Structure 1
Amino acid sequence: MARNTQRWKHRKRSLRRPQTLGTAPGTLVVDPQSSAMVIRAIGYGPDGLDERILASADDARALLERWPVTWINVDGLGHAEALQQFGKVFGLHPLALEDTVNTHQRAKADDFGDVLFVTSRMVQGPPLLSEQLSLFVGANFVLSFQEDLSGDCLDPIRERIRLGRGRVRTSGPDYLLYEILDAVIDGFFPVVERFGEELDELDSGLTTRQITTRPGQIHRVRSDLLYLRRIVWPHRDMLQMLLRSSHTRVSPETMPYLADCYDHVIQLIDILEVYRETCSDLRDFYYSQLSNRTNDIMRTLTVLSTVFLPMTFVAGVYGMNFEYMPELRWRWGYPFSLVVMGGVGIAFLAFVWRKGWLERWDKPPGGPRDHDHSTTGD
């Protein structure tokens, strides 16, 4: 429970503005809760690769001069001086660095001349955890910034680079950009599928004889799905911008791959819309079942009250303290009154039973009467 609460707080923290209002554009105000910075670099080409941990941005110069493509991944955004050093080495725009530090950004693509700036969001869960991923694409490098060291979905790309699988080692930085965006978007599908399984469990809890689903559970899933929808929708606009723009950092050969990535985003949006409507239907179904159960209880209590009403009348008649009553001094008066009350109650119960007023609203069809009726046709 403590771990889930920590993740929930992290998700809320990732959507707030850490900078002070009124600061100058391009000012880097880091979040004091950010993790320590760890820099991992992979320089690669068709003939090999070089993977290492860097101490600072200046250590990347050797990789940039030697390899056709260099991928530098930075985990942690807690050092403003180190981020400014990256801006000097790679020629990054101050506004792009400011958006990198302010991790409330929606997915987007900005053209800063020689460098293409792209932001995306990675997710894990449930419980839902979101993290901003900032990407800078230059002539021979891809620079990625992540919020912390909680892990990412990019390990398959690193493994393909190490083993030389696919076309990543023979392609430029724009193809690496596609690989990263594709991995991020594909990471949404397992999260969305787990929410689908949870919706199936909630639906099963509503259709059982005893309602085990609570409205708070449905509201929590619906809230998470709305949050996912809020994250996924900007990815569609970001990919549309990449497909429509003529940025020199994205080659025509990479465009079909980005279009396939765009199709995956559309699939995610369709699934999220269906699940969101399912949550609304489950909530309406829950209250409908709750109302039906309340009606069953009130009907049963009403029938019982009506059954005892004539008994109360008989008991009231014989309970009056008049001196002259026909059965007052009769030897069998007391048993007679009990028999009258019991007979009236049994007769009324039989009448109610034949009318079907005591049957449950959710009783499964195909009872004994239906079976007998179906077998008497011959």
Structure 2
Amino acid sequence: MIEAAVFAPSGTERHSADTRSALADAKAAPGTTWVRVTGDDPTELSLVTDVFDVHALSVEDVRSGVRPKTEDYPNHVFVLAKTASLRRGETTFEDEVRTEPVGLFVGPDWLVTMTTDEVDAVSRVWEGTLGEDARILRAGPDFAAYRVLDRLVDDYFLLLDDVETTIETIEEGVLDGPDPEVLEALNAVRRDLLSFRKVLWPTREAVGTLARGDVDEVRTATEKYYRDVYDHLVELVDLTETYRDLARGARDIYQNTVAQSTNEVMKTLTVVATVLLPLTFVVGVYGMNFSSMPELEWAYGYHAVMLGMALVSLVLVAYFRRHGWL
């Protein structure tokens, strides 16, 4: 689906963009033109490619969802960003980071956004330009592109809020004792943070190119807005690394808890084996049944041996308790 919005003195107007001539008229209209392409229909993509003279490889990058980047062309700059949201599963360890590519082609007086599916951040800015926030297009295509990127980055914070809540829940579970589900949830969180990190780092570099004034399509007056987005991305990178450290620390606590539990079991088994060792020795000695053993003929020999073994056991147990081993 192709939609066009043009900022005119009377306000933002919708223009038909279902044919080549209509799309060309929208591009040539005075003011700032924003063409929004949703879906991957080859005919529509080819139409936009021809009218706005955008490179076919850039369109293919949007469809394939490669890593975020910024590329400068003679008549426009291409920015590929990505959405990032946490798709919930039935359990915590089934959560995963879901991404959608968002392509922005910024020209001298036009902006083309391409998405393979409906993207909430793009839709909200789009509806704003057609409503009360018409200044978005009045400020130029570079400012409209900034607003889209800013929305995407704001949604990144929501994802990290969810991850933080999950980590806090996991930390509480770790302290309750070893649980295989807690370990699976920890691994899932670390995997999500790694996936999110792969989105953040190239996005930061892509926005940094726009913030430094390396492209002609971004005016000096708009660079400060991109610098603000860049600062948010730096903060997000720091938060991601912090949460990765928290997840790593929770895993270490879990492993220490498991090791401590194992040590407790081993200590108990060692105490039991130590108590049984002298008893086994006594039973083994008298189990030889040599005829020359004087105790074999003693009427109270059995009772004496059992009493002796009980006393030895009691002495050993008292000793272990005194030293805090039981």
Does residue 259 of structure 1 match 2:224? no
Q: Structure 2 vs 1, CA of residues 208 and 342 (structure 1 numbering), >3 Å: closer, same or farther?
A: same
SS of match in other structure, 1:74: strand
- Given that residues 206 and 213 in structure 1 are in contact (C-alpha distance below 8 angstroms), is that contact kept between their aligned partners in structure 2? no
Does residue 221 of structure 1 match 2:189? yes
- What does residue 49 of structure 2 align with? 87
Aligned-residue sequence identity (percent) comes to: 31
- What does residue 59 of structure 2 align with? 97
- Given that residues 213 and 220 in structure 2 are in contact (C-alpha distance below 8 angstroms), is that contact kept between their aligned partners in structure 1? no
**1: CA distance, partners of 2:7 / 2:143:** 13
Does residue 50 of structure 1 match 2:13? yes
- What does residue 212 of structure 2 align with? 244
Q: CA-to-partner distance for each residue in 1:125-180, whole Å, 9 max, x for gaps?
A: 1421111111111233211111234x432333134223313842532111101101
1:143 maps to amino acid: V
Deviation at 1:78, TM superposition (A): 4.1
1:61 maps to amino acid: A
Matches within 5 A, 1:15-94: 38-45=1-8, 47-51=10-14, 54-66=17-29, 68-79=31-42, 81-94=43-56
Q: CA-to-partner distance for each residue in 1:245-270, whole Å, 9 max, x for gaps?
A: 35442222211111111110000110
Q: Structure 2 vs 1, CA of residues 345 and 88 (structure 1 numbering), >3 Å: closer, same or farther?
A: same
Report the TM-score when normalising by structure 2.
0.87
Matches within 5 A, 1:144-293: 144-149=113-118, 151-165=119-133, 167-211=135-179, 213-245=181-213, 247-293=215-261
SS of match in other structure, 2:121: coil
Q: CA-to-partner distance for each residue in 1:4-56, whole Å, 9 max, x for gaps?
A: xxxxxxxxxxxxxxxxxxxxxxxxxxxxxxxxxx2233334463333477434
**2: CA distance, partners of 1:94 / 1:355:** 77
**2: CA distance, partners of 1:266 / 1:45:** 37
SS of match in other structure, 1:322: coil
- What does residue 29 of structure 1 align with? none
Equivalent position to 2:307, from 331, 334, 339: 339
**2: CA distance, partners of 1:52 / 1:40:** 7
Equivalent position to 2:104, from 135, 147, 156: 135
SS of match in other structure, 2:6: strand
- What does residue 4 of structure 1 align with? none
Please list every run of 5 or more consecutive structure 1 residues that lacks an aligned counterpart in the other structure. Answer: 1-37, 359-378
- What does residue 76 of structure 2 align with? 115
- What does residue 92 of structure 2 align with? none
- Given that residues 122 and 152 in structure 1 are in contact (C-alpha distance below 8 angstroms), is that contact kept between their aligned partners in structure 2? no
- What does residue 18 of structure 1 align with? none
Q: Structure 2 vs 1, CA of residues 77 and 200 (structure 1 numbering), >3 Å: closer, same or farther?
A: same
- Given that residues 213 and 223 in structure 2 are in contact (C-alpha distance below 8 angstroms), is that contact kept between their aligned partners in structure 1? no
**2: CA distance, partners of 1:201 / 1:236:** 30
SS of match in other structure, 1:128: strand
2:114 maps to amino acid: F
**2: CA distance, partners of 1:317 / 1:343:** 18
1:142 maps to amino acid: L
- Given that residues 153 and 233 in structure 2 are in contact (C-alpha distance below 8 angstroms), is that contact kept between their aligned partners in structure 1? yes
Q: Structure 2 vs 1, CA of residues 114 and 101 (structure 1 numbering), >3 Å: closer, same or farther?
A: same
- Given that residues 97 and 195 in structure 2 are in contact (C-alpha distance below 8 angstroms), is that contact kept between their aligned partners in structure 1? no
**2: CA distance, partners of 1:288 / 1:56:** 66
Over aligned residues, Cα RMSD in angstroms? Answer: 2.4
Please list every run of 5 or more consecutive structure 2 residues that lacks an aligned counterpart in the other structure. Answer: 88-95
Deviation at 1:336, TM superposition (A): 2.5
Report the TM-score when normalising by structure 1.
0.76
2:138 maps to amino acid: T
Does residue 312 of structure 1 match 2:273? no
Q: CA-to-partner distance for each residue in 1:216-246, whole Å, 9 max, x for gaps?
A: 4333322221221121111222122112235
- What does residue 321 of structure 1 align with? 289
- Given that residues 108 and 217 in structure 2 are in contact (C-alpha distance below 8 angstroms), is that contact kept between their aligned partners in structure 1? yes
**2: CA distance, partners of 1:337 / 1:243:** 89
The structure carrying a bigger helix percent of its residues is 2
Q: Structure 2 vs 1, CA of residues 251 and 312 (structure 1 numbering), >3 Å: closer, same or farther?
A: same
Paired residues, number = 318
